[in-house]
Amino acid sequence: MDKVHVINYQEFQSLAELEEKDRRLMQCAVEAAEGAYAPYSGFHVGAALRLGNGTVVVGSNQENVAYPSGLCAERTAIFSASAQHPECRDYETLAIVGRNAEGTLCEAMPCGACRQVLSEYEQRQGHPMRVLCYLDGGRLRIFESVASLLPFSFDF
């Protein structure tokens, strides 16, 4: 029997359409991209994670000459949050933005490995983590959960 999986998400034309809290979080992600170490790809990614208590933890991609040893911005942010704030493993919203070699802000949807990692923290906290993604041209996409980005995720 054929079945269909539907992903619900919202799209916005610009930052101005977002709630103040989300707009500020995306601004933190833009600033976080400044911390990227990306000499190999030239692609800078910034991530900003708002915890349930309002704390914002940022991350950026960190590359390495031994390529697989580097880490994406999203995982840098959430691992850092888990390590630095074990008292509040409550992840409310993650904002992500890319900046290309020309310095233009651009789309950065989380990669598969990041979705897997985010998914585990979401499952452990027992409520959804929103994901706010910057898109080319300044549009934005909001997913109400990581599960919507990674259906049928691995677990055992």
Residues binding ligand THU: number (CB under 6 A): 14
User: Which residues between 75 and 114 bind ligand THU (CB under 6 A)?
Assistant: 108, 110-111, 114
Q: How many other CB atoms sit within 10 Å of the CB of residue 58?
A: 22
61 near ligand THU, judged by CB under 6 A? yes
What is the C-alpha separation between 42 and 38, in angstroms, rounded? 5
> Of these, 30, 35, 55, 70, which contacts ligand THU (CB under 6 A)?
70
What is the C-alpha separation between 120 and 55, in angstroms, rounded? 20
122 near ligand THU, judged by CB under 6 A? no
43 near ligand THU, judged by CB under 6 A? yes
Residues 116-131 as b or e (16 or more Cβ within 10 Å = b): ebbbebbeeeeebbbb
Residues that bind ligand THU in the complex, under the rule CB under 6 A:
38, 41, 43, 45, 61, 63, 70, 72-74, 108, 110-111, 114
